[in-house]
Structure formats: structure tokens, C-alpha cells
């Protein structure tokens, strides 16, 4: 007998639209800029495009716009989350990334702005993934498989803002918070993610708000 499962995917039509529309939008935007460039004080790369002979100036502008659109499409598509819930585990996948969490370890699932979070029995963070999936669909999917759902973080009132050298934060964790703050300020998302997981191993759960870090401790 095949194992029953519940899946909540990012609609394929939405991903296709992203890959079609954003490159076209980028090309159209650069074309529009090229038409206006003689009236605007642009310099740098756009000045070089303007000096190209026709029709190569238009070809170059459309090509640059297309590339910019493709870059943005890749960034958006990287957050195309699929949630698969079985009797044994919850699997969160997006392009280039997969995380499986044993279902018995999960106490609650909830949305945190544009992310989906899974918490364990003692409040530890088991997974946090970008998600633009419908909250209603997720609530129904988790509920149908017996996983508790909350509309917000049940520990929201327990968080405190991190500042350097707090007496409650050991030196090892403080060093990780400091490094993570630098990564937040510079926009290094991969480092931000890795350092969040390192803080989790040290017994801290962290959430961000406008490049500020807020933390709470997790019982051992």
C-alpha cells in the first residue's frame, strides 16, 4: 500500500510566469530608459550603451534588461517552497535545497512573515524556510496530518533584542551573534542562515526584524 501524503506546492504556473515576466519586464524597462536617456543625466554603463550605433544600442539595452530580469527571476524562484507531509516526516523543498524533519519531533508549525517555521517539543527551531504559500492551504494541510498549526510564533513574547556583551549570552554565542549581525548588515543571506543554525546548536532561537536580532533560550 502506498503511503498517504499531503503536498502543498508552489503552483507551476506561478513559477512559469516569474521566469517569463521578469526577464521581459527587465528588457522593457531598459528599452524605456534608452528612449529617455537623451533627456536624463545618466552616465556610466548607460552612457556606453547610448554611444553604440543603432540598432546595437537597442540590442545591448534589451540584453542587459533581460539578464537583470533573469537574475531577479532566479532569486524569486529560489523561494518556491513545496511542503510534503507524510506519516513519518515533513519535507520542505525548494530549488537546490531540501530539509526533512521527523513528524514526531514537530510540536507546531506557523508562518513568520514570509517564512514557514517548524518548532520542536521544547521550543527549539527545527526548520525555517522562505514561503509564499497560502496560510490557509498550509493550515489545512498540517491539520489534516495531525500537526498543530499556529497563526504566529507561540513564543513571540519571549524574545529579547540582542546587543553585544549581554550577561545572559555566553561569549561563544555572543561571537556568533556579532558575526551574524555583520552578515545581516551586508546582506549575506547564506552566512545569515548558517549562523542561525549555529546559534540553534548553542541553544538559541533567533528571529530578525529590520536587520535587528531578537533571541530566546531553549531548554537543554
pLDDT tens track for 173-191: 999 999 999 999 999 999 9
The mean pLDDT value for 100-121 works out to 96
Q: Supply the pLDDT for residue 4.
A: 72
**Distance from chain centroid for Cα 95:** 12
| Cell numbers that stand for 94 in this block | 525548494
Whole-angstrom distance, CA of residue 25 vs CA of residue 27: 5
Q: Looking at the predicted structure, is the pLDDT value of residue 2 above 60? A: no
Whole-angstrom distance, CA of residue 120 vs CA of residue 140: 20
Helix (H, G, I), strand (E, B) or coil at 202: coil
Q: Supply the pLDDT for residue 1.
A: 44
**Distance from chain centroid for Cα 164:** 26
Q: Which residue has the cell 536624463?
A: 40
Q: Which residue has the cell 517569463?
A: 20
pTM: 0.75
Q: Supply the pLDDT for residue 159.
A: 97
Whole-angstrom distance, CA of residue 138 vs CA of residue 10: 11
What are the beta bridge partners of residue 212? 209
Share of the chain above pLDDT 90, in %: 58
Whole-angstrom distance, CA of residue 180 vs CA of residue 157: 22
Mean pLDDT taken over the chain? 86
Residues 103/90, Cβ–Cβ less than 8 Å: yes
Confidence of residue 16 (pLDDT cuts 50, 70, 90): confident
Closest CA to 205 of 158, 145, 164, 172: 158
Q: Looking at the predicted structure, is the pLDDT value of residue 13 above 70? A: no
pLDDT tens track for 20-79: 777 778 777 776 766 666 565 555 566 665 666 667 666 777 787 788 878 876 776 666
| Cell numbers that stand for 157 in this block | 513574547
Amino acid at each position: 500500500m502506498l503511503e498517504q501524503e499531503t503536498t502543498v506546492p508552489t503552483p507551476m504556473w506561478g513559477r512559469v510566469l516569474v521566469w517569463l515576466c521578469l526577464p521581459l519586464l527587465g528588457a522593457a524597462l531598459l528599452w524605456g530608459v534608452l528612449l529617455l536617456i537623451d533627456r536624463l543625466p545618466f552616465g556610466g554603463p548607460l552612457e556606453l550603451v547610448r554611444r553604440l550605433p543603432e540598432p546595437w544600442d537597442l540590442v545591448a539595452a534589451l540584453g542587459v534588461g533581460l539578464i537583470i530580469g533573469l537574475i531577479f527571476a532566479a532569486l524569486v524562484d529560489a523561494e518556491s517552497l513545496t511542503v510534503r507531509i507524510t506519516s513519518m516526516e515533513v519535507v520542505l523543498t525548494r530549488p537546490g535545497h531540501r530539509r526533512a524533519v521527523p513528524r514526531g519531533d514537530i510540536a507546531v508549525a506557523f508562518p513568520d512573515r514570509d517564512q514557514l517555521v517548524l518548532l520542536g517539543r521544547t521550543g527549539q527551531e527545527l526548520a525555517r524556510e522562505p514561503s509564499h504559500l497560502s496560510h490557509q492551504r498550509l493550515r489545512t494541510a498540517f491539520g489534516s496530518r495531525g500537526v498543530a498549526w499556529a497563526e504566529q510564533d507561540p513564543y513571540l513574547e519571549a524574545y529579547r533584542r540582542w546587543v553585544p556583551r549581554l550577561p545572559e549570552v555566553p561569549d561563544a554565542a555572543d561571537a556568533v551573534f556579532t558575526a551574524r549581525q555583520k552578515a545581516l548588515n551586508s546582506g549575506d543571506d547564506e552566512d545569515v542562515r548558517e549562523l542561525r543554525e549555529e546559534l540553534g546548536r548553542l541553544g538559541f532561537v533567533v528571529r530578525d526584524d529590520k536587520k535587528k536580532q531578537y533571541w530566546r533560550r531553549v531548554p537543554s
